[in-house]
Amino acid sequence: MRKTITYLFILTLLLASCRNESNKYLKLGKGTSEKWFEPTPHGMVYVPRGAYNLGPNDDQLYAITPNRTVSTEAFWIDDTEITNNEYRQFVYWVRDKKARELLGQTYTDFLITEDKYGAPLEEPEINWEERIEWDDPEYQMAMEELYLPEYERFGYKKEIDTRKLVYEYYWVDYKQAAKRSNAYNYETQRYEGSVVNSDGEVVPIANRSSFLMHESVPVYPDTLCWIRDFAYTYNEPFTIKYFSHVGFDDYPVVGVTWDQARAFCNWRNKLQDFAFTRSDEAPAHEYRLPTESEWEIAARGGMHNTMYPWGSYYTRSVDGCFVANFKPLRGNYVADSPTTTTAMKVGLFDPNPYGVYDMAGNVAEWTSTAFFEGGYEAIDDYNPEIQYNARPDDPAVMKRKVVRGGSWKDIAYFIQSGTRTFEYQDTAKSYVGFRCVRTSFRDDLGGRRSIQE
């Protein structure tokens, strides 16, 4: 009996020690991670996961585009379109980065060459704490490359050359990396496929870095779009002041290409990385453009089989007032708003049930989705998306991107929740802007998805 008890005691100790050792490498159940929860991103609202009919579904008898039942994961979306003020911060950041790089060639205070322990850095970093004295003649001389050359100045005014404001970033092309033909071959210990690089060239895969794409995007909006988009008009005041004047701060930014909108999302992720330094605070996902299906489910606000984001078949309220900024009558742009004939301040009309403003009218919005007529037949029914990163030498038909929501210049058909149209990714329009989304970890039970110790 004593031997039996002794053996059981030893066996218990062995099993306990095995459990402790295994937990050292693979923790199971509760206590797997530090306490973490997903806070509400600034300026965003939550869209729960759900299923709905993508595309026109209010009257299929006359619908040109078929619809498709799809499901999407939960995500956050900007409650308004990105404004001039918000996009201007992006432009100023690119300007200041370029200025500090130039000043660092003369003034060492603008560069950080050592880490906090005094060890030299392989590559100097920009010192964002040092103040730039823009009116200092010596500083201006050091930044001469950033200004317009004398022969291009009007009235001898020294101005920043906006063509020099180029944002560079990298992104991983997971679509190419996921191809079976591009997978790593463990027998030969190398990659055997090929990729289309950032320059549009088909090259063999050297290593994992072959999937890393480099982008150089001029960030200043095309302010001449106000004149280019409309023949025989006088839109010079908007060209001169719409983006730059503080009076238009809360108006949606326009004149940005699809590539510029994506660059803004990448820059916003950098701000996010700067803001969060601890792993229990860092957001799990990045900002990006919405997919077409995400945009539509956010526009519908949880309502199905409705024509507009406000859930009605009409563009007027019960009081007879228009409920969005669009072109309601023939050339009568002021019928819906007596104060403006173009884009207007964001958030002036009531939001939809999700709390999202201006999903119909004001300005149309870029999505990440590539446009082609048979898209709804090709997409999957779970998180549907068709992406294609067109290169400069691709034919124009390959550069079409889905645009949703309609704008201040469009008739009622284009502001319907199910209406899709397109613009070319390398063009900028006076009636197209954008907003960002971010995939969410939050559950749909009314709370944040959290992991407790």
Q: What is the pLDDT of residues 153-189, one digit of tens each?
A: 888 888 999 999 999 999 999 999 999 999 999 999 9
| CA dist., res. 78 & res. 366, Å (int) | 13
Residue with tokens 């960030």: 219
What residue spans define the domains of the chain? 41-83+221-441, 88-164, 166-218
Q: What is the pLDDT of residues 21-34, one digit of tens each?
A: 444 555 555 555 55
pLDDT of residue 445: 43
**Widest distance between CA atoms in the chain:** 106
CATH superfamily label, 41-83+221-441: paralog of FGE (formylglycine-generating enzyme) (3.90.1580.10)
Q: Which two tokens stand for residue 69?
A: 């039942």
pLDDT at 446: 45
- Identify the segments of the chain with pLDDT beneath 50: 15, 17-23, 61-62, 445-453
Say which DSSP state 109 is in.
G
Per-residue pLDDT tens digits for 199-227: 888 999 999 999 999 999 999 999 999 99
pLDDT at 401: 96
Tell me the angle at which helices 258-275 and 84-103 cross, rounded to the nearest 10 degrees: 70
Which uninterrupted H or E stretch holds 85? helix 84-103
| 396-427 pLDDT tens trace | 999 999 999 999 999 999 999 999 999 999 99
d(CA 121, CA 53): 54
**How many whole angstroms separate alpha carbon 368 and alpha carbon 390?**
12
